[in-house]
Copies of this chain bind each other. A is one copy, B any other.
Amino acid sequence: MEHKKKDFNEWYNEVIEESKLVDKRYPVKGMNVWLPYGWAIARNVDNVIRNLMFSTSHEEVYFPLLIPKDQFAKEEEHIRGFGSEVFWVDKGGDTPLDIPLALRPTSETAMYPLFSLWIRTHADLPLKIFQIVNVFRYETKQTRTFLRVREIHFFEAHTCHESFEDAEKQIKEDMEIWEKFCEKMALPYILNVRPEWDKFAGAFYSIAADTIMPSGRPLQIGTMHQYKQNFAKAYNIMFTREDGTREYAYQTTFGISERIIGAIVGIHGDDRGLILPPEIAPYQIVIVPIVSDEKENVMNEAKTLFEELSRSFRVKMDDRENYTPGYKFYDWELRGVPLRIEIGPKDIKNNVITVSRRDTLKRSLISRENCSEELAKILSDIQKNLREIAWKNMQKLIKDASSLDEIKENENVNRVYWCGSAECANRIEEYTGKRILGIPLIAEKSKGKCVVCGKETDNVCYIGRSY
């Protein structure tokens, strides 16, 4: 495998192919086949967010894929933002359709006409729903597995509220959910308020969660949008207050795409392959029986152990006959299983199991008695360790910069002072070829000089060559 540090892009493609997450040979550009291992990771990620949503009183729904053109075009900025990247269905069999149907690029325009039927009075609010679906974008840029594809595995939450303040509270709740979610992905992030010109099409403001890939390039892995009443006005989502007055609902959305899996691959992996956080690994533990002799005894012990551990963990027994233990170690390291257990005659005799951690590659003996408890501790330590390393590494990829040339010349994300004006932003983006990620939500209060105009400001912003 390519060295991750030497050529991150090559390494990224290779690790995805060799660990069998997707097959890229499907004959439509930007549409990959999810192989069992990759799909199992995606489903585990889905279940993490699903459970977090259920625990905050969101309900899961499924809206149709196809959206009639007239309905799709109702919110002006939205259609301007998405129109050029929509796949259109024009025919059923040989029959031209009366109205072309869009493959959802996101579901505002599918959902909101129904919201206008569901919501009558304040008693119907808040409305908090989400769905996990695939969305479609006719991407003309170069595609890249998980990071830029045309069929995107997608989580989207949509809420309606009585007031702007309630909608703001929802965004706060989303941030809390997001923090818990990222803990389980072991991923670091910065929350940036996107500049005006880079908001979601139709939003009042957009907050993006950006992480930084080892290449030094930022990657948007989550978004929270405050719509205010923009869509409610276009789709006539109104409610009656207790005092009898009518008002448009206040709306928010919260989205996560399969980019999260690209981030997990890119940020945690090493030259041996994937390293999966235990919370989302398809197998948290793999058992490799060492059967040079005492085969029957070892296999029986391995089976007993497998059954015992399966009660608490996702476990794989690798009892393949025609492969050496060495090959199996290599294979499961490549596929990023957090813990490997070897069990052989000597282990059995000594009443121990041999345990190897994928993150530190350290091997140790632990007592066979009540090993579940000890293994749970190690897994939780791996989860914590991956997260800490990832946060530290992200910090290293952020450089303070005080001139445009400095920004232009490095491969990292830069932290600069920016007065906030569109003129200076334009100059930064044009001169450096990088993008302003916005103002970090957690204000970093200190003063400095705008990197373009030199005006004193306390606006800090992040800049990078985003994926």
List chain A positions with a Cβ less than 8 A from chain B.
Answer: 23, 25-28, 31-36, 39-40, 42-43, 59-68, 71, 83-95, 101, 103, 110, 113-114, 117-118, 129, 134, 136, 138, 151, 153
- Choose among B34, B35, B68 the residue that contacts A28 (Cβ–Cβ < 8 A): B68
CA distance A60 to B113 in the complex (A): 34
**Chain A binding surface, main DSSP class:** mixed
**Closest chain B residue, CB of each to CB of A31:** B64
Q: Would A151 and B27 be within 8 Å (CB), given that A36-B60, A83-B93 are in contact?
A: no
**Closest chain B residue, CB of each to CB of A90:** B90
- CB contacts (< 8 Å) of A39 on chain B: these are 60-62
- CB contacts (< 8 Å) of A63 on chain B: these are 26, 33-34
Tell me the smallest distance from the CB of A22 to a CB of chain B, in Å: 9
**Closest chain B residue, CB of each to CB of A94:** B84
- CB contacts (< 8 Å) of A28 on chain B: these are 64, 66-68, 101
Q: Would A93 and B31 be within 8 Å (CB), given that A39-B62, A59-B36, A117-B25 are in contact?
A: no
Tell me if B85 and A33 are in contact (CB < 8 A): no
Of all A-B residue pairs in the complex, the 3 with the closest CB atoms, nearest first, are: A92-B138, A36-B59, A34-B62
- CB contacts (< 8 Å) of A151 on chain B: these are 64-66
Question: In this complex, which of A62, A95, A129, A138 has the most chain B Cβ atoms within 10 angstroms of its Cβ?
Answer: A62
Tell me the smallest distance from the CB of A93 to a CB of chain B, in Å: 4
Tell me if B93 and A91 are in contact (CB < 8 A): no
- CB contacts (< 8 Å) of A92 on chain B: these are 85-88, 138
CA distance A177 to B92 in the complex (A): 35
Tell me if B88 and A91 are in contact (CB < 8 A): yes
CA distance A103 to B134 in the complex (A): 13
- CB contacts (< 8 Å) of A113 on chain B: these are 27
12 A-B pairs whose Cβ atoms sit less than 8 Å apart in the complex = A23-B117, A23-B118, A25-B117, A27-B71, A28-B64, A28-B68, A28-B101, A33-B62, A40-B60, A65-B136, A86-B92, A87-B92
